[in-house]
Chain A
Amino acid sequence: MIEKALKGSKKYWLWLGFCATLFGVGAGFYIDQLFNGLQITGMSRDVSWGFYLANFTFFVGVAASGVMLVLPYYLHDQKEFGKITILGEFLAVVACAMCITFVTIDLGRPDRLVNLFLHPTFNSILFFDIVVLSGYLLINIIVGWSILDAEHKGEKPRRFVKPLIYLSIPWAASIHTVTAFIYAGLAAKPFWLTAVMAPRFLATAFAAGPALLIIICLILRKYTDFDPGKIAIKKLSTIVTYAAIAGFFFLLCEFFTAFYSGGAEHTATWKYLLFGEGGSGLQPYMWGVLISTVIAIVLLVNPKTRYRDDTLVIACVLLFVSIWIDKGLLLVIPGFIPNPLHEFNQYFPTLKEAIITFGVWGLGFMVLTVLYKIAISVKMEVGDQDIEH
């Protein structure tokens, strides 16, 4: 099947070239980081996690959201998703790989990464996170590839695939839950110490991931002969709508607890984000996220705008970007502001840090494009014939 990735239009190669360039430049600056240490980033003694882990957190969500296609298709027999389930699985594969890359580039001593497995520590959430992420990556590669291969050959998928698919469903929830627990388990960080973290993570993930898939589907329909199906996109947009509302609801719950209780420490960070008390660096982003989330929800809730491609795309892009900023800049970073001694030190990613981050994006999109090229070529070859799983 792999040979299908080697034949493509000029646009295909140009896009791949663009992704490869992003990756190459990012890798170049990463070498700088290897030699000079993490001082090239905007991180500091006080804000000791930054853009890398923010992106990591976000993409764990994207990875987990693959389940939003797998679950309706395999458990509820929603046949419309038949053509695009593979897109969800491959998106999960790529997002997982990006997550592991983000964790690795965030390490001060990546050369000692293997210590994670030499000295496995069951009381560390980070250890669990790496384990579940690698597991999810593996499951999705095996499932996605063997189903596609079976379709390609016109056979039934191998017998071990089905149980793996069922396993992947709770596993998807687990990766994002464990990632939320990294943050929500620290008494030192009142801003993160909230039981609603994991549910909120899952809700926003199930909005952002399918939103990205809708955008991808519409792009594919426009630039290739592949048609994901109108009903599939319609159903996806319903999922996005519900998840976005749930995510927003959880955010409002946070506001309530923080402000109504009046608890000094928990409120401090929200005051910093919303009203700029202690520095206004992140304040515009916070309001930007709030406003664009509301606009996106309005566009999604109204069936007229939800079923129109142009307004749907606007809603999905707004949602994807605002959730990315929300989980990235507005969740990881403010946890460190103010610091444990109640001092306010600001953070913003440096240019080098951003280039390295987008290098990982480049790598991700490159692999994703290749995988999608293979998947779509197979789907087009097989045609619309229904294959029984």
Chain B
Amino acid sequence: MEVTRREFIKLAGLASAGAVVTASSGALLTGCSPLVGMEDESLNDTNMGMITIPSRCEEGCTGCIDACNKMHNVPKHDNKDHEIKWIWETEFPHAFTEYMENEILKERMEHVPFLVMCNHCSNPACVRVCPTQATFRRKDGMVLMDYHRCIGCRFCVAACPYGARSFNFKDPKKGLEDPVPNPNFPTRTKGVVEKCNFCSERDIHGSELPYCVEACANKKGGVEASALIFGDLDNPEFKERIEKIQKDEKLIPLRRKEIAGTQPKVYYLV
């Protein structure tokens, strides 16, 4: 078969066009969403995450949830459909739906409260789908929201495998007292999505802890006894601390919906 120069150029053109399409769709398919760098570059290597130990939770205690709701002006609406939830309590089979049919585990976990929240995933589906980068992943491993930019399309709500995102169906001020519980933290407007922010407004890389962790530690009389532990998952000291708890209390770390491929960063030691 002879190939004329004209045909060759045509073929080459087609091939390179194909390569461009493949490359761009490759970028699309891997869903590579850009990371947002920190002003303090030393923090770019951190990887903030949460360890929860459900067995340490006391039944009926809502200290962590109350602290979060108060400090973040999370509204309380009467209509369950319009609820806003940052951190809340559920039962084992709902937190870990893949073990829904596992009667042995279900029985053992029957009265253990499980705290669920945004998992600040390493491979977050919400960030991948957001059309405006209103939700983004910072280099310190926090998945955050820019409420100024959110257009309220709720694509992220659909994409989140944890149901961690809430949409403001109505003016949040309707569900808050006046003045708001914490005037130093902004409220949101109707029409935007919101979620747990691992207390990014606090000095969580330094001397402060997220409000939920702080509340739990205060109640339990110290961070060592707390049901919630927060820190840099890549930090060797932190790792050692968690490993020690695992060993001492004979616990294994579980993450919710591993199958979704999001690499969640909230661990449950059970």
Contact = CB atoms under 8 A, between A and B. Distances in A.
B265 interface: no
B82 A109 contact: no
Classify the interface of chain A: helix, strand, loop or mixed: loop
B157 A341 contact: no
29 contacts: A36-B190, A38-B190, A38-B191, A39-B169, A44-B80, A45-B85, A45-B163, A48-B154, A48-B167, A106-B153, A106-B154, A108-B151, A108-B152, A108-B154, A109-B151, A109-B192, A112-B150, A113-B151, A115-B151, A121-B33, A123-B28, A123-B31, A126-B153, A126-B155, A186-B129, A188-B257, A264-B101, A340-B97, A340-B160
A107 B190 CA distance: 11
Interface in A169-215: 182, 185-189
Nearest to A47: B81
B83 A116 contact: no
B190 A108 contact: yes
B159 A188 contact: yes
B165 to A, nearest CB: 8
Given A189-B158, A335-B158, A342-B97, A108 B31 contact: no
Contacts of A44: 80-82, 169
Nearest to B77: A39
A-B CB proximity, top 4 nearest: A108-B152, A108-B191, A44-B81, A188-B161
A361 B6 CA distance: 51
Contacts of A38: 152, 167, 169, 190-191
A123 B32 contact: yes
A339 interface: yes
B11 interface: no
Interface string B64-87: 000000000000000111111100
B93 interface: yes
B262 interface: yes
Nearest to A186: B159
Contacts of A224: none
A130 B125 CA distance: 20
Interface stretch (B35-43, B50-58, B130-138): B130-138
Contacts of B134: 115, 119
B161 A108 contact: no
Interface residues of A, number: 48
Interface residues of B, number: 59
Contacts of B94: 341-343
Nearest to A42: B81
A121 B34 CA distance: 10
B189 interface: yes
Contact of B133 (A107, A108, A119): A119
Interface string A330-361: 00000110011111010000000000000000
Which of A36, A110, A123, A343 has the largest number of chain B CB atoms within 10 A? Answer: A123
Interface string A94-136: 0000000001001111101101101101111111101000000
B266 to A, nearest CB: 14
Contact of B132 (A37, A116, A265): A116
B131 A107 contact: no
Contacts of B132: 112, 115-116, 118-119, 121, 124
Counting chain B CB atoms within 10 Å of each CB, the highest count among A36, A115, A130, A336 belongs to: A115
A116 B150 CA distance: 10
Contact of A124 (B80, B116, B130): B130
Given A38-B169, A45-B83, A45-B166, A122 B100 contact: no
